Amino acid sequence: MNNIKQLVSTAAIVAATLGLSACAGMSSQDKSTAVGAGIGAVAGSVLTGGSAVGTVGGAAVGGVIGNQVNKPPR
């Protein structure tokens, strides 16, 4: 059962990576936000054993971090 969760997590990462490669019209900050949310969702899911709350929380935290990391200078 644990192998299935790892397989699903890996498939989700691959799908997110392929999906984000089509975002050519996005700004650099938008791309960082999306990547951060994707990575955060996967990490939250893995750390909480597949909990929906952990997945959503990880996506939110990852999105905020990704947004702030690539913030344009003022």
pLDDT of residue 57: 92
pLDDT of residue 61: 93
Residue ranges making up the domain that contains 47: 2-69
Number of domains composing the chain = 1
Rounded to 10 degrees, the C-alpha dihedral 46/37/25/21 comes to -10
Specify if 7 maps to a domain: yes
Specify if 74 maps to a domain: no
Specify if 9 maps to a domain: yes
Specify if 35 maps to a domain: yes
Residues 6+ positions from 28 with CB-CB distance below 8 Å = 70, 72
pLDDT band at 1 (very low <50, low <70, confident <90, very high): low
Q: Read off the DSSP letter of residue 73.
A: P
Measured CA to CA, the distance from residue 54 to residue 35 in angstroms comes to 17
pLDDT band at 20 (very low <50, low <70, confident <90, very high): low
Angle CA(54)–CA(60)–CA(65) in degrees, nearest 5? 120
Question: Average of pLDDT values for 33-45?
Answer: 90
**Residue 17 vs residue 57, higher pLDDT:** 57
